[in-house]
Amino acid sequence: MTQLQVTDSANLGNTAETNTGGDWRKYFGFSTDHKVIGIQYLVTTFVFYLIGGALAAAVRTELATPDSDFVSRELYNSFFTIHATIMIFLWIVPAGTGGFGNYLIPLMIGAKDMAFPKLNAVAFWMIPPGGILLLSSFFVGAAGSGWTSYPPLSLINGQAGEFIWILSVLLLGTSSILGAVNFLVTLLKMRLPGMGLHQMPLFCWAMLSVSALVLVSTPVLAGALILLSFDLVAGTAFFNPTGGGDPVVYQHMFWFYSHPAVYIMILPMFGMISDILPVHARKPIFGYRAIAYSSLAISFLGLIVWAHHMFTSGTPAWLRMFFMIATMVIAIPTGIKVFSWLATIWGGKLDLNSAMLFGMGFVSMFVIGGLSGIMLASVPVDIHVHDTYFVVAHLHYVLFGGSVFGLYAGLYHWFPKMTGRMVNETWGRIHFALTLIGFNLCFLPMHKLGLEGMPRRVAEYDPKFAGLNLMATVGAYILAVSTIPFVINAVWSWMYGPKASANPWKALTLEWMTSSPPPVENFHEEPILWTGPYDYGIDFEEEGEEKSVEELLAEVKVDVG
């Protein structure tokens, strides 16, 4: 008997009845069930993703021609500002940490729920007001000084919209901190007895690193925004040079959060990919500890490299040297992960379903973003391409090619667990193909545009850039279209898709050891940790005679005494 069959049946126990999805109305209320909250996060943030995507489409429409002819320049500024704010604070951060973190952590560590279920629900219910607040600022003239909100520009650029932007980000940041408290306590204190830190799935390691990062960095952004709002509303001059203040202090505080934030946005996906690739390649993960510890290393290094965003802010040369070297050092733990993933799928029996395609797309697209990141870390290159489209290309390769591909991989992989239904693979693959083509068509040309000197955040540009910009716009439209098959596929499959078994991928982590979708409090009976999370392809046939589950259980119980 193979080990897998043992685990499957042993943990499901005799309770054959599966959980029916239950009342759909629970998704609209104050539920304390981490699975409901996780799905609430995912659906809510996906809606914001579509809104942010619509704004991006508007931005690309404006940029299809060199002239400013689609929207007014002020509105254009608001569009790209709110686009970035939504994508960061209302999609990638809450979907990766809040969505998958909430749904998966208790299941993966064999707990019934998070450590603080009510706090968890409170943290989620800060997201919709935060998002609606942000969008409502369009009625008074939304913030238009970029998602960085650098003073003094942000102080003179429409007070009401800027103030609403600050309030909204503070609200979303608070939600993120409360979530991180919950994750950290749950991961450290509520693991299944017998599950040490080194038996945790790698997603849990990633979330441990992310939570620490959120706890340490997000409050500093709150501090910066509090000071900024005093400047904005009370007329102080913390960051206003005309009153003796120093705008560079804001930049330091802002990037002390916002650089770690890029790891907050990518580490959960690193974790998910580490869990998805071994399942669909049917191979043990390569370098479990290397991947686990590199998450911690990234989260530590991520805290001490923020000023590489400020090479052109009058940062002294010796400091630039430090931040350049520290930034390049991050390539080491990241490279460890990439090579471990490649070694994991090397020679595996790849099942090229949608989850795996997005997983492999993630690795390849992220590597491109990572390489341009090393270029940007180098001071001379950065000074040349600072605030050009090269930066836009880089950040979209890591945040879209990385994070969003990772989120899609996670959505396809855990969809059967979350909904109890299988997605349509054909449409999933079409979705992947459209996304990959649209994404590269949109963002690859931006590298060249940036190197040739096209500045970012402009509504009109030199006509010599027109060709590549048109190409990017076409790519953006393909990207917009690519979400349609996904949305239809997801909604249709959720309602009418074929029923999923408890463990359709034959995976070994604990979330697959319960019914799909799992019942309230997750496990029909207390789960038993039979295997490590990645012990794929280990054949026990030569171990001797086969035994039934009952015999094995009896044996274990005798040992226990």
Partner 1 sequence: MQIPTIDESKTALNYHGAAEAASHHEAHPDHRIFGIIVFLVAEGMIFLGLFAAYLTFRAVAPVWPPEGTPERELLLPGINTAILIASSFVIHKGDTAVKNNNVASLRTWFLITAIMGAIFLAGQVYEYSHLEFGLKTNLYASTFYVLTGFHGMHVCFGILLILGVLWRSLKQGHYSSKNHFGVEAAEVYWHFVDIVWIVLFLLLYIL
Residue list 200-229, contact with partner 1 (CB under 8 A): 215-220, 222-224, 226-227
Q: Nearest 5 degrees, angle CA 210-CA 216-CA 220?
A: 125
State yes or no: residue 380 binds partner 1 (CB under 8 A).
Answer: no
Q: Count H helices, E strands: the chain? A: 21, 0
Nearest residue (CB) to partner 1, 27 versus 230:
230
Strand partners, 421: 499
Distance CA 113, CA 104 (A): 10
Output the smallest distance, CB 240 to partner 1, in A. 10
Distance CA 556, CA 558 (A): 5
Output the smallest distance, CB 534 to partner 1, in A. 10
Specify burial of residue 291 (Cβ count, 10 A radius: 0-12, 13-18, 19+).
Answer: buried
Candidates 107-115, 428-436, 478-486, 493-501 — which segment interacts with partner 1 by CB under 8 A? Answer: 107-115
CA dihedral 38, 43, 45, 48 (to 10 degrees): -170
Candidates 92-100, 114-122, 322-330, 345-353 — which segment interacts with partner 1 by CB under 8 A? Answer: 114-122
Identify residues 500-519 at the interface with partner 1 (CB under 8 A): none
State yes or no: residue 115 binds partner 1 (CB under 8 A).
Answer: yes
Amino acid at 134: L
Output the smallest distance, CB 22 to partner 1, in A. 21
State yes or no: residue 94 binds partner 1 (CB under 8 A).
Answer: no
Which of 190, 296, 336, 458: binder of partner 1 (CB under 8 A)? 190
Task: Give the number of residues in contact with partner 1, rule: CB under 8 A.
Answer: 71
Which of 249, 342, 343, 451: binder of partner 1 (CB under 8 A)? 249
For the record, the structure tokens of 229 come out as: 């709002």
State yes or no: residue 556 binds partner 1 (CB under 8 A).
Answer: yes
Which of 125, 535, 537, 549: binder of partner 1 (CB under 8 A)? 535
Identify residues 291-350 at the interface with partner 1 (CB under 8 A): none
C-beta of residue 303 within 8 angstroms of C-beta of residue 238? no
Long-range contacts of 351-354 (CB under 8 A, 24+ apart): 351/280, 351/281, 351/282, 352/280, 353/280, 353/412, 353/425, 353/428, 353/429, 354/408, 354/412, 354/423, 354/425, 354/428, 354/429, 354/431, 354/432
Output the smallest distance, CB 480 to partner 1, in A. 37
Nearest residue (CB) to partner 1, 252 versus 384:
252
Candidates 240-248, 364-372, 441-449, 465-473 — which segment interacts with partner 1 by CB under 8 A? Answer: 240-248
Which of 67, 69, 462, 543: binder of partner 1 (CB under 8 A)? 543
Output the smallest distance, CB 12 to partner 1, in A. 15
State yes or no: residue 529 binds partner 1 (CB under 8 A).
Answer: yes
Q: Is 146 left (phi over 0), alpha (psi -120 to 50) or beta?
A: left
Which of 24, 196, 318, 496: binder of partner 1 (CB under 8 A)? 196
From residue 194, how far is each of 109, 199, 225, 529, 536 by CA, in Å? 10, 9, 44, 8, 20
Distance CA 557, CA 561 (A): 6
Which of 75, 237, 422, 430: binder of partner 1 (CB under 8 A)? 237
